[in-house]
Amino acid sequence: MNKKELIDFVQASFVPKNEHPNFKAGDTITVHYKIKEGDKERIQLFQGVVLQRTGAGLTETFTIRKVSSGIGVERIIPVNSPLIEQIVVNKRGVVRRARLFYLRQLRGKKARIKEARM
């Protein structure tokens, strides 16, 4: 076995994979994220537009952006993080790019993404 096969075997057998719905750049999702404060634990909801998905396998991450009180907030979250309780897809967006960094410069109605018809 070479190194790559060995790493894949260890990752597949020891690291639990979370089952989440399929989502891509342009989708609006809500992430239920566990937050520990001292000895207490609570779940915080973070709803926004997915700007990108990067990586593969266990190192895959996604960037999610929302505007809170007029200030843009972005968060990079690993897909297989044990702190993610649940991911809910609110809207499917129609975009023609894999990375939506141009949304950072847009404000108001210009920052809207067309919704996919089901």
49: β partners: 28, 65
In this prediction, residue 39 has a pLDDT band, given cuts at 50, 70 and 90, of: very high
Fold of 19-103: SH3 type barrels. (2.30.30)
pLDDT digits (tens, 9 = 90+) for 10-25: 777 776 677 888 999 9
Rounded Cα–Cα distance for residues 45 and 47 (Å): 6
Q: Provide the residue ranges of all domains of the chain, joining segments of one domain with +.
A: 19-103
pLDDT top residue among 82 and 63: 63
pLDDT at 50: 95
> What pLDDT is attached to residue 41?
93
| Residue 87, φ and ψ in degrees, nearest 5 | -125, 130
Lowest mean pLDDT among 13-22, 26-35, 56-65, 93-102: 13-22
Residue 1, pLDDT > 90, answer no
